[in-house]
Amino acid sequence: MILRPYQQATKDAVYDHLRSRRDNPCVVIPTGGGKTPVIAEICKEAVTRRNWRVLILSHSRELLQQTADKLQAICPEVEFGVFCAGLGQRDTRQPVILASIQSVHSRACELGRFDLIIIDEAHHIPPEGDGMYRKFLAEVRLINPHARVVGFTATPFRLKTGPICTPAGILNAICYEIGVRELIAGGYLCPLFTSESDTTFDTTSIRVQSGEFASGELENLMDDNVLVREACEELVRKTSGRRSVLIFASGVQHAQHIVEVLRADHGVECGFVDGSTPIAERDATIACFKSRELKYLVNVGVLTTGFDAPCVDAVVLLRPTMSLGLYYQMVGRGFRIDPRKLDCLVLDFGGNVRRHGPVDSIRVEEPVVRQEGTAPVKPCPQCQAFVSAGFAICPHCGFLFDPPERQRHEARASEDAVLSRVYTRTRYRVENVRYRAYTKVGAGPNDPPTLRVAYWAPEIDDYIVEWICFEHQGYARQKAVEWWTQRSAAPVPNSVDQALAIIHEHEIAAAHAITVLRVQGEIFPKIVGYELGPLPTGRPFSGMPYPSQISDLGQTVDFVNEQPE
């Protein structure tokens, strides 16, 4: 398989670190950013080129099963086994073993020698003491003192102790990191739209223990009957246009109360899972949710990490938290892209967005204790969307905020930067598409041309353009292959002229609508979704050359949608 550019850069950074340094690296990729293909390629190279044996450690049965399924699908040439009591498997002889830390923490000798240990969700490694990870890795090094460790996480910090990479820790340095905003801008993650709740839960009276709200007191607050009914009414109303709504509750009693109110007052079914839900029941409930048979799913503490459900287009936070990591993991369930969703609504009843700020600006360098104080975001009084505190105009509805009060004298100009960009996804109806060969200004003799595709959108009275790179190599060529196979039954062209010839014969599907991503501060929009007509059923492409008078750079092939949606 061909990795995305940042995935390839991740793999290269890992091996550069292992080759040039003696300590252990960590990779930071946001939730939904696709770390499993990177792990698969690292395993493939380790086994086939270096003759290494690899162990992949995880803390949960669900995450382990997802990783095993994906590895088998994208890297079938590598033989791997699974050692997990919860999955009923105890493989020990394959070159790659996937294991739950709970099942193997005292069985290092049974598994044999490993050269590379990959730890998924590495923020679960305890900072000190004799936890399962530390005990197991100590025994692994008795068998092979030169074994190396690589961590993968979306949140490289802990609330109480700060960064997970320290000179004396199991992981020592971040070798590669990419942020949420970069992946959203690239179309790899779904933008989030955060709305302020009408229902208020005042957490100021709740005690904070070890950096987090006291669980019993928190559930008592959130499970108030009047507030639960108000919250359920609001979440049903605000998610009426959503298809898959994931709800985080503050406790089991609170979650069951939500289920009862949704059923009794609103006539909607809501699934429920927690740590004590039988495995078969949990799997069946989650499967119904992922298939969209079940619109609402409430959980308590089990779907924060490793829950892969691209269908989620609304996340409801009925669970206040002081933990940056937990906040990120809850919100991150909506990051995964799906062709049937434009964005993901985050409906926050717990004050988490005000407390922690936009999720794409989270970063912890030192141990901190979060205090209630000046919010890095503010709600728009007109549309209720949360926006960065620095905005003078709401980017969603155009509301003009009052100017902030300023001191008469300031020692120095503010150096504060806007914490988060604004991402908007808009669907446009397409009436006309223009295809032409394009060579960039200043291109050298060896620079290949691209196919310029321009979509006419009457709502904005303009063309929206993308470039398809049939004559390039690597990831650009892979994207061109994907683009083409969605539109035509003809063989994938090897040149722009070939593509134009096939298009000229109308052997390409019509584009009825496109979804466009715009990022605050960037000039050019990006097309991230398409609604296409059926594949043409006409004759296969003859392979005849495209008429020169049409393939000339000054000419175009136009298609007008006779019946656009």
CATH of 5-182, one of 3.40.50.300, 3.40.309.10, 3.50.50.60, 3.40.50.720: 3.40.50.300
Residue 515: what pLDDT?
A: 86
Query: In the CATH scheme, what architecture does the domain 190-367 have?
Result: 3-Layer(aba) Sandwich (3.40)
Strand ranges inside 430-525, DSSP E = 432-438, 450-457, 462-468, 511-519
Of 94, 51, 52, the residue nearest 71 (C-alpha) = 94
Give the pLDDT of the chain (565 residues) as one tens digit per residue: 788 889 999 999 999 999 999 999 999 999 889 898 999 999 999 999 999 999 999 988 878 888 888 888 888 888 999 998 888 889 889 999 999 999 988 888 889 899 999 999 888 887 665 688 888 999 999 999 999 999 999 888 776 667 888 888 899 999 999 888 888 888 888 888 776 677 777 888 899 887 789 989 999 999 999 999 999 999 999 999 899 999 999 999 999 999 999 999 999 999 999 989 998 999 999 999 999 999 999 999 888 877 889 999 999 999 999 888 888 889 989 999 888 888 888 888 888 887 887 777 665 444 444 444 444 555 555 544 555 554 555 544 445 555 544 333 222 222 222 224 566 778 888 988 999 998 877 777 788 889 999 998 888 878 889 989 999 887 678 888 989 998 998 999 999 999 999 998 888 999 999 988 777 666 778 888 888 888 886 544 444 433 333 333 334 566 665 443 3
Residue 397: what pLDDT?
A: 46
Burial bucket for residue 395 (CB in 10 Å: 0-12, 13-18, 19+):
middle
Q: In what order do the strands lie in the sheet with 432-438?
A: 462-468, 450-457, 432-438, 557-560
b/e per residue 148-163 (b: at least 16 CB within 10 A): bbbbbbbbbbbbebbb
Q: What is each CA distance from 531 to 81, 185, 192, 481, in whole angstroms?
A: 40, 21, 22, 18
Structure tokens belonging to residue 299: 């959980």
CB 336 within 8 A of CB 190: yes
Residue 219: what pLDDT?
A: 92
The residues of the chain that CATH labels 3.40.50.300 are 5-182, 190-367
Residue 546: what pLDDT?
A: 36
DSSP label of 464: E
Helix and strand tally (H, E) in the chain? 16, 27
Q: What is each CA distance from 434 to 34, 294, 453, 463, in whole angstroms?
A: 33, 41, 6, 9
DSSP label of 331: H
- H or E stretch including 477? helix 474-485
CB 354 within 8 A of CB 374: no
Q: Which residue has the tokens 């406790």?
A: 251
β-strand 173-177 against 25-28: which pairing, if any? parallel
3-state helix, strand, coil in the chain (%, to 5): 30, 25, 45
Burial bucket for residue 565 (CB in 10 Å: 0-12, 13-18, 19+):
exposed
CB 513 within 8 A of CB 430: yes
Residue 403: what pLDDT?
A: 52
